[in-house]
Every structure is written in structure tokens, then in C-alpha cells.
Amino acid sequence: MTDYAAAPAQPIVQGLLTARNLDASGVVTFFGIGIVQTGPNAPIYVGAGHYILTLDPGLPGDVAIDPPFGRFMMTVRGPGGLLVGTPTAVDSKSINYIQNPVPGVGADKIEILLNVDPETGLEIVLWRADAGVELVNANLIGPIYPNH
């Protein structure tokens, strides 16, 4: 396979998030890999469309990510069943990286903010990308053959 990517997309988190708030005690669940799913760091339902997820310790969740390197994708799964084909009410999606208070750790939690809960679910993918020139790439910038 030809490898010409500017930066490979190697997700450290990917899965399907579902949220329910049937009795005003919202529940958010994550089905996938890279996010803590149980215990004190299980996904938190902050409010409608607002969730906090904790990255898995170790790979692939990688404990934490330096926010400038974070790349995130989310796709709404709209209404299903008899309502399939109905537009989703989600028209605002954004991501925030929550820094660990310990200096140098980075962000070990991610915060998803939608205007409402997704009807069926939310597909999410998080990967680490390049955030500008790194030292490892420094020699690739500028003249390749400076002595010629």
C-alpha cells in the first residue's frame, strides 16, 4: 500500500456513544475502545448533549493527549425505527479537551457538547495528529541537499 499520508490517522478512541435521559437521571454509555466504561471514571452525563469521557489508561486510550494534537470526528446517528429519515435535532457539535491538573500530563478527559442528546447515538473517533513541525521532522524542512 502506498503510504503518502501527511499524518496517519491512528485512532486512540473510537466507538459509539449513546445517551438517555428518560427519568431525568441521564445515562451515557460508550461501546468501543479507548474510553473508560466502568467505575468512577465511567462516562458522565452532565446534561442534555453534554458528556465527559475519560481516556483509557495505557494504549490505545493513551491516558492523555496534548490538546493541540487532538483530532476528533463525530457523526450523529439520527432517528431510527418508524422515524428513520427524520432529520436529527443535533445541529451543534463541539469538543473540548480537559487538562489533567497535574502539569505535563495533558488532557485525560474529553468533553462533548451537543445542543441535544442524539436520537440514536453518536459515532466518535479521536486520534493524535501532527501539530506543526516536530523535531523529528525538522530535517525534512528546507533544502534537502544543502551542500549542492
Partner 1 sequence: MTDYAAAAVQPIVQGLLTVASLGGPVTFTGRGAKLIPSLQPSPNGVGRDNTHPQGVFVLTLDVGLPGNAGAVEPFPNNAVPPTLAPAAPLPRTLVDVRAPLVGGPPALPAPTTLTSVSVAYGNFTGPASVTPPFDGSLTQVMIVVAAGAALSDPFTPNANGLEVIVWAGVESP
**Residue 38 Cβ vs partner 1, minimum distance, rounded to whole Å:** 11
| 101 vs 115 by CB, closer to partner 1 | 115
The binder of partner 1 chosen from 46, 47, 57, 86 (CB under 8 A): 86
Tell me how far apart the alpha carbons of residues 42 and 30 are, in angstroms, rounded to a whole number.
Answer: 9
The binder of partner 1 chosen from 6, 24, 59, 102 (CB under 8 A): 59
Restricted to residues 94-123, the positions that interact with partner 1 (CB under 8 A) are 118-121, 123
Q: Which residues fall within 8 angstroms of residue 14, CB to CB, at 6 or more apart?
A: 32, 33, 34, 124, 125, 126
The binder of partner 1 chosen from 29, 41, 96, 99 (CB under 8 A): 29
- Please choose, out of 9-17, 63-71, 100-108, 133-141, the segment that lies near partner 1 by the rule CB under 8 A: 9-17
Give the CA angle between residues 107, 93, 56 to the nearest 5°.
30
- DSSP, collapsed to helix, strand or coil, labels residue 20 as strand
Beta strands in 34-129 (DSSP E): 44-47, 50-54, 70-77, 93-99, 107-114, 121-128
14 binds partner 1 (CB under 8 A): yes
41 binds partner 1 (CB under 8 A): no
Tell me how far apart the alpha carbons of residues 122 and 17 are, in angstroms, rounded to a whole number.
Answer: 5
Q: Which residues fall within 8 angstroms of residue 108, CB to CB, at 6 or more apart?
A: 54, 55, 63, 64, 98, 100
**Residue 110 Cβ vs partner 1, minimum distance, rounded to whole Å:** 14
The site for partner 1 (CB under 8 A) is made up of: 3, 8-16, 18, 20, 27, 29, 31-34, 37, 59-62, 73, 75-80, 84-91, 118-121, 123, 125, 127
